[in-house]
Each structure stands twice: as structure tokens, then as C-alpha cells.
């Protein structure tokens, strides 16, 4: 197996698009060697814990709806090309994603990380749900066959907060300034959304590498 680390934020549209394009390649190459793990990176690390009204957020970041429309036009185009119908108008709040990242971490411990990460994307970009809300996160956990009651209890505590902050800070110290960033085999960084053809080429190269000879 080859480790594929995905550094991502569940409110990052390019992360959702990038993973969708990767999935197309994985479907073409079901014998791929990747073992995938998700890692935290907050696009808005200074976001208040309760999040922010979406219109207020867009006004501050892009100078209003027109600026937001210009900024999101390439996102909508790329999403449609990838087969995703994003419901951006349905998003009412821009959340702080710290607790969503905690849930992704806990899901990883239980072998449910992929299901939870993708459910968070769907909840935010298709269903307009507030993925900072504890009941929403518990419901997503339940849908991935995790114990919702345990997740709610953990969310009300400080469990793994420090670890998420440290991981996020560590990636920034490595020079990562944007997501998605994919790291292949712990050493090759692949930034941004990449077409399935690139991933297919990477998979074929990995599958065709000769096995390492032993020392004996």
C-alpha cells in the first residue's frame, strides 16, 4: 500500500472537487495502491466558534455578492465539469470547522473516515447544513455507523482540540498555504485539483514499480 494523505477543509469547494476527480481515477483503477488518510487545515482559522452569517462572510471576503459571484464562477464551472451540482445558494452560515475536523479524526480511529469526510462535503455543499452544529455532526456520525451519543459527549469536551490545532499549524510550517494538498508516499506533494488522467498516471507508475529487493 502507498499512503495518500489528503489535507483538506470540509468547507473548501476545491477540496470536494479535487476528491471527486481523484475518485474518478480510483474507479478507473480499482487495483490502486492508495491508503487514504484525511488531515485538518482550516481555511478560516479565526472564524468565531459559532460561525458567521454567509452573506456577512461573503461581504467581508469578496466585497459583496458581485465579488463573490466572480470568485465562485470558476468553482461552479469546475464542479459541474466534475459532475457535482453544488447548492451554494442554500448555505446560510459559514461555520468554524474545528469540530468537523475533530469528527473526521475520530472517524479515522474507527475506520469510518472516508464516509464521514464525504458526508460533511454533502451536508455543506448540497444540503446547506451547519457542519459546526453538534447535533448535525452527531447525525453525520450516526450515518457513518459511529455512536452519535459518544460523539456528542466528545464534542462537548476539549478532546483532541490541541491535536487538531497542532496538525493544522504543522502543515502551515511545512509551507502548505492552500487546500486540497495531496501527499503521495509521505514525500510527493500534489497541490490543488488534478484531473483523473494525472492520478491514473501516478497509479500506473506506482503499480509498475518493481518490488524492493530484500537485503538478505
In this predicted structure, what is the pLDDT of residue 216? 41
Q: What is the pLDDT of residues 125-170, one digit of tens each?
A: 999 999 999 999 999 999 999 999 999 999 999 999 999 999 999 9
Does any domain span residue 174?
yes
Does any domain span residue 216?
no
In this predicted structure, what is the pLDDT of residue 211? 61
Q: Which residues contact 130 (CB under 8 A, 6 or more apart)?
A: 51, 92, 93, 95, 136
Range in 61-65, 104-108, 161-165, 170-174 the model is least confident about: 61-65
As a whole number of angstroms, the distance between CA 180 and CA 121 comes to: 13
Does any domain span residue 23?
yes
| Residue 137 domain boundaries | 2-207
In this predicted structure, what is the pLDDT of residue 43? 96
Does any domain span residue 213?
no
Matching residue, cell 500500500: 1
Give the residue-averaged pLDDT of 38-66. Answer: 93
As a whole number of angstroms, the distance between CA 50 and CA 41 comes to: 18
In this predicted structure, what is the pLDDT of residue 64? 82
Helices (DSSP H) in 113-192: which residue ranges? 113-125, 134-143, 148-155, 161-173
In this predicted structure, what is the pLDDT of residue 210? 77
**How much of the chain exceeds pLDDT 70, in percent?**
97
Question: How many structural domains compose the chain?
Answer: 1
Does any domain span residue 215?
no
CATH number for the domain harbouring residue 142:
3.40.30.10
Amino acid at each position: 500500500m502507498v499512503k495518500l494523505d489528503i489535507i483538506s477543509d470540509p468547507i473548501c469547494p476545491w477540496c470536494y472537487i479535487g476528491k471527486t476527480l481523484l475518485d474518478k481515477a480510483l474507479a478507473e483503477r480499482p487495483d490502486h495502491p492508495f491508503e487514504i488518510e484525511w488531515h485538518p487545515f482550516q481555511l478560516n482559522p479565526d472564524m468565531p466558534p459559532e460561525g458567521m452569517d454567509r452573506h456577512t462572510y461573503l461581504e467581508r471576503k469578496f466585497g459583496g455578492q458581485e465579488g463573490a459571484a466572480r470568485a465562485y464562477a470558476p468553482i461552479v464551472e469546475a464542479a459541474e465539469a466534475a459532475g457535482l451540482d453544488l447548492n451554494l445558494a442554500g448555505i446560510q452560515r459559514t461555520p468554524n470547522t474545528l469540530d468537523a475536523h475533530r469528527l473526521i479524526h475520530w472517524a479515522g480511529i474507527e475506520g469510518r473516515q472516508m464516509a464521514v469526510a464525504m458526508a460533511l462535503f454533502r451536508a455543506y455543499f448540497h444540503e446547506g447544513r451547519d457542519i459546526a452544529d453538534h447535533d448535525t455532526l452527531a447525525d453525520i456520525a450516526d450515518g457513518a455507523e459511529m455512536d452519535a451519543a459518544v460523539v456528542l459527549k466528545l464534542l462537548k469536551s476539549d478532546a483532541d482540540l490541541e491535536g487538531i490545532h497542532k496538525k493544522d499549524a504543522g502543515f502551515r510550517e511545512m509551507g502548505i498555504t492552500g487546500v486540497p494538498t495531496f501527499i503521495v508516499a509521505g514525500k510527493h506533494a500534489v497541490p490543488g485539483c488534478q484531473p483523473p488522467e494525472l492520478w491514473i498516471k501516478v497509479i500506473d507508475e506506482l503499480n509498475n514499480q518493481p518490488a524492493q529487493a530484500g537485503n538478505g
